[in-house]
Amino acid sequence: MHQSELVVDHAALLADIRQWARELGFSQIGVSGVDLSSAEPGLMAWLGEGFHGSMAYMAAHGLKRARPAELVPGTVSVVTARMDYLPRSTEPGWQAVEFERLAQPEAATVSLYARGRDYHKVMRQRLQKLADRMADRLGPFGHRVFTDSAPVLEAELAGRSGQGWRGKHTLVLNRDAGSMFFLGEIYLDLPLPASEPTSGHCGSCQACLDVCPTRAIVAPHRLDARRCISYLTIEHDGPIPVELRALMGNRIYGCDDCQLICPWNKYAQRAELPDFDVRPVLAEPTLLALWAWTEAEFLRHTEGSAIRRIGHERWRRNLAVAMGNALRAAPSADLERALREALPHATPLVAEHIVWALGDQASAVATASQTGIEAMPSSVDNVTRPAT
């Protein structure tokens, strides 16, 4: 990237950028500077605690996340973009509806953001279109677009550019839109003036800390990803820690609890784009229906979806845990039969979780011997779900 030497009317350009952004489906545009040095101590402390878990890339990138000009040389300002993602069909009282789903053991819960098209694709394409519109006006300039795809401190940049403030759950909150939105950035070699940041408005509320099923929010603004259900079901590729399995309920991809309970999300906005409409197969999914997918069906149903990136094996690992939790809530011959029939053909990773799900160790050991794994003792009796 090379520093542009363009003479720019910043006020007029920002007005145009905001208009183009609205036409592209973005909800808000802001501008941040690139001096994020005040965020570096917190980032390093978080990494030092090991809270990033197996996400080794976060430690590998280190302070580059807080130094935009090192990630993209020549960067002098960052345009931040926000895009609401609640499906257009979302009814009033949607938070209560989602909690009701969580209370139905044989239902399958996928995070709201993942029920439609992969946001990475949607945001990246539209951010590039926004950059192209800028280039049409200004001529060539240096830039790169990002959407959760590089070592970028997205929430920090969003907060500094007026998109909102960091909630106690570490997500960005906006007074007019809650937290149900995606973030993206355009790194620029244009020195645009920074937007005014907003102040925080969480007050004494700690509903997000109290509701977290696994107590992953260990303190206000401090998240231990190793305990977070979103991390466990999406980022983590190994066995899910036994002591956390019973706490996951029927959450098979991500977790929205800290957002569902947040009072600010009564202001969450519906998406403008059809991309985030709920796919029919994810509208009212049951554990049994999703368990029945072959790998080919999984790939077909998740084409263009963020879900596809975890792969069929982790998908079944997550389902096995949820099915085990459903069996602990109420006996189900159909669930038990489905698990037992799948066990002899399961990969070692999935088989381990099936054995845990069955719980009946005498029967599970006999079946598990066909897979060559050792049946794990169930720890469900030693786990107490945190009060919510």
148 is catalytic: yes
Is 171 labelled a binding residue? no
Query: How far apart, in Å, do the first and last CA atoms of the chain sit?
Result: 50
Is 208 labelled a binding residue? yes
Cβ-proximal residues to 70 (8 Å cutoff; 6+ apart), any chain = 63, 64
Is 205 labelled a binding residue? yes
In degrees rounded to 5, what are phi and psi of residue 271?
Answer: -65, 150
The three-state secondary structure class of 358 is helix
Is 379 labelled a binding residue? no
Amino acid at 377: P
Residue 175's CB is within 10 A of a number of other CB atoms, namely 12
Select from 345, 288, 350 the least CA-distant residue to 314.
350
With contact defined as beta carbons under 8 Å apart, do 173 and 262 qualify? yes
| Rounded-to-integer distance, Cα 276 and Cα 261, Å | 22
Q: Which two tokens stand for residue 325?
A: 């939790």
Is 230 labelled a binding residue? yes
Q: Which two tokens stand for residue 83?
A: 């895009």
Q: Which two tokens stand for residue 249?
A: 């309920």
Is 138 labelled a binding residue? no
Is 202 labelled a binding residue? yes
Residue with tokens 């520093």: 3
Is 255 labelled a binding residue? yes
Amino acid at 323: M
With contact defined as beta carbons under 8 Å apart, do 208 and 167 qualify? yes
Is 144 labelled a binding residue? no
| Rounded-to-integer distance, Cα 261 and Cα 257, Å | 6
Question: Active site residue: 148, 210, 277, 360, which one?
Answer: 148
The 3-state DSSP composition of the chain as helix, strand, coil percent (nearest 5) reads: 50, 10, 40
Is 360 labelled a binding residue? no
Rg of the chain's alpha carbons, rounded to an integer? 22
With contact defined as beta carbons under 8 Å apart, do 330 and 105 qualify? yes
Is 172 labelled a binding residue? yes
Calculate ∠ Cα 98-99-104, nearest 5°.
95
* Paired strand residues for 178: 174
With contact defined as beta carbons under 8 Å apart, do 168 and 179 qualify? no
| Rounded-to-integer distance, Cα 165 and Cα 178, Å | 10
Is 358 labelled a binding residue? no
Binding positions are 65, 148, 172, 183, 202, 205, 208, 212, 228, 230, 255-256, 258, 262
Binding positions for cob(II)alamin are 65, 148, 172, 183, 230, 255-256
Binding positions for [4Fe-4S] cluster are 202, 205, 208, 212, 228, 255, 258, 262
**Residues identified as active-site:** 148
